[in-house]
Amino acid sequence: MTLKMKRTKNKALFGQQTSKVTQLADTISEAISKKSFLEGDSLPSINQLSEQYGVSRDTVFKAFADLRERGLIGSTPGKGYYVTSQVTNILLLLDQYTPFKETLYNSFAKRLPINYRVDLLFHEYNERLFNTIVRESIGRYSKYVVMNFDNERFSTVLNRINPARLLLLDFGKFNKEKYSYITQDFDEAFYQALCSLKERFAKYRRFVFLFPRSLKHPQSCQACFVRFCVEQGLEHAIETETEQLVVRPGSAYITIKQQEVVEIVKRGRAAGLKCGVDYGLLAYNDIPSYEVIDEGITSLSIDWERMGNEAANFVLTGNPVQLNLPTEVRLRQSL
């Protein structure tokens, strides 16, 4: 068997983004994933690949060494290299990096066997980038695990992917009946989580939701915040300009951005105020550091580790899943 690509096209594969060794190893890995080479099949020789791709013999040798380290190929003296295990390529497309997304990724990757390769990409809520990544990925992966770039609108480019191979994560306030999904509810579940804390909020006169204009968090949760405050008789405000925010005694604050948690604590200290005593603080999406910042920051969060585990189960079994993860309260001293 040979890698089924024309020589001119093969040479064009090797650009400046990554090393030639990595690109050649990835090309062979992809061919194994697509079953162009089955377990036990011999691979082209070092000389053949050197000629086919226009690279040095040393580059091919190093690419083979990379694939051996991944556990995908082996070698026999005098007989060359052969496939020992078939790789399965997975696309994990997330919105942007955050500490809780790292928790998701780590639990996801940890559950997968060594012959599963995960390409982790971020679209940064950029629709053009999202569409480009999806279009260029079609046919290259066995499974697609994707966070949409919008909570309200389904990305039609995803129609190009076989629904049995696609898992939607996190966002999903749109018709997704024919797809597998593991999502969270940013509206009613958020409201119910606030209701579970109403006795804690009773000690505060004012409740402030920090929601910067650039924030990509679903806007619909603002109405749930207002609904809760009106029902509880709490004076409230939604602050979209947070740079000059003054932390005041008798107020409680809810933040979505992690850096704003630190900023509020710093500003509170500068004003001689103690978090959890003079003012309250509630964070959206739990991260490990919230356990230790200022004696602990109360948070609302889904279980990101569970999301990663459930996503890995979909990849491994192919069994359809339609799951809304509950929003949980992690109660600490800040509220």
The 10s digit of each residue's pLDDT in 182-230 is 999 999 999 999 999 999 999 999 999 999 988 889 999 999 999 999 9
3-class DSSP assignment, residue 269: helix
Answer whether residue 331 is part of any domain: no
CATH code, domain with 239:
3.40.50.2300
Question: Number of folded domains in the chain?
Answer: 3
Residue 76 has pLDDT above 50, yes or no: yes
* Boundary of a domain, candidates 36, 63, 83: 83
Residue predicted with more confidence, 159 or 34: 159
Residue 6 has pLDDT above 50, yes or no: no
pLDDT given at position 142: 87
Whether 68 and 196 share a structural domain: no
Q: Strand locations in the chain, DSSP E?
A: 73-76, 80-83, 88-94, 116-122, 143-147, 166-170, 180-184, 206-210, 235-239, 251-255, 280-284, 298-301, 322-325, 328-330
- For residue 57, what are the domain limits? 7-83
Task: From 304, 204, 212, select the one nearest 255 (Cα to Cα).
Answer: 212
Question: Per-residue confidence at 16, pLDDT binned at 50, 70, 90?
Answer: very low
Question: Per-residue confidence at 8, pLDDT binned at 50, 70, 90?
Answer: very low
pTM here is 0.76
User: Are 333 and 302 spatial neighbours (Cβ–Cβ below 8 Å)?
Assistant: no
Whether 24 and 51 share a structural domain: yes
Identify the DSSP state of 161. Answer: S
pLDDT given at position 55: 93
Determine the Cα–Cα distance for residues 205 and 207; give it in Å rounded to an integer.
Answer: 7
Answer whether residue 262 is part of any domain: yes
3-class DSSP assignment, residue 92: strand
Residue type, 144: Y
User: Are 315 and 116 spatial neighbours (Cβ–Cβ below 8 Å)?
Assistant: yes
